[in-house]
Chain A
Amino acid sequence: MRARIAPGVSVATPLLPPADWRDFLALTKPRVMTLVVFTGLCGMLAAPVRIDPVLGFTAILCIALGAGAAGALNQWYEADLDAAMRRTAQRPLPAGRMERQSALHFGVGLGAFSVILMGLALNLAAAGILALSILFYVLVYTVWLKRRTPQNIVIGGAAGAFPPLIGWAAATGDVAVLPLCLFMLVFLWTPPHFWALALFVKTDYANAGVPMLPVVAGERVTRTQIGLYTVPMAIAAVAPWALGLTGAVYGGVATAMTGIFGALALLVATRTQTPDDAMLPEKRLFKFSILYLFVVFGALVVDRWLA
Chain B
Amino acid sequence: MTPDEQDLVRRRQRARALVLALLLGALVILIFAISIAKIRAGMA
Chain A residues proximal to chain B, CB less than 8 Å: 17-21, 52, 54-55, 58, 61, 120-121
Interface of B is mostly: helix
Q: Is the CB of A17 within 8 A of B37?
A: no
Cα–Cα, bound, A54→B21 (Å): 22
Known contacts being A52-B40, A52-B41, is A18 close to B34, with CB within 8 Å?
no
Q: Is the CB of A52 within 8 A of B37?
A: yes
Most chain A CB within 10 A, of B16, B30, B34, B40, is at B34
Can you give 26 contacting A-B residue pairs, CB < 8 Å? Answer: A17-B5, A17-B8, A17-B9, A17-B12, A18-B9, A18-B12, A18-B16, A19-B12, A20-B15, A20-B16, A21-B15, A21-B16, A52-B40, A54-B33, A54-B34, A54-B36, A54-B37, A55-B34, A55-B37, A55-B38, A58-B30, A58-B34, A61-B30, A120-B34, A121-B34, A121-B38
Cα–Cα, bound, A120→B38 (Å): 10
- Residues of A near B40 (CB, < 8 A) are 52
Q: Which residue of B lies closest to A19 (CB)?
A: B12
Q: Which residue of A lies closest to B23 (CB)?
A: A21
Q: Which residue of A lies closest to B41 (CB)?
A: A52
- Cβ-Cβ contact count across A and B, 8 Å cutoff: 31
- Residues of B near A17 (CB, < 8 A) are 5, 8-9, 12
- Residues of B near A54 (CB, < 8 A) are 33-34, 36-37
Cα–Cα, bound, A20→B11 (Å): 9
* Min CB gap B16→A, angstroms: 5
* Min CB gap B5→A, angstroms: 7
Q: Is the CB of B8 within 8 A of A21?
A: no
Cα–Cα, bound, A121→B39 (Å): 12
Given contacts A21-B19, A58-B30, 11 further A-B contacts (CB under 8 A): A17-B8, A18-B12, A20-B12, A20-B16, A21-B15, A52-B37, A52-B40, A52-B41, A55-B37, A61-B30, A121-B34
Q: Mark B16-44, 1 if CB is under 8 A from A, else 0.
A: 10010000000000100110111011000
- Residues of B near A20 (CB, < 8 A) are 12, 15-16
Cα–Cα, bound, A58→B19 (Å): 20
- Residues of B near A61 (CB, < 8 A) are 30
- Residues of B near A19 (CB, < 8 A) are 12
* Min CB gap B41→A, angstroms: 6
- Residues of A near B15 (CB, < 8 A) are 20-21
* Min CB gap B26→A, angstroms: 10
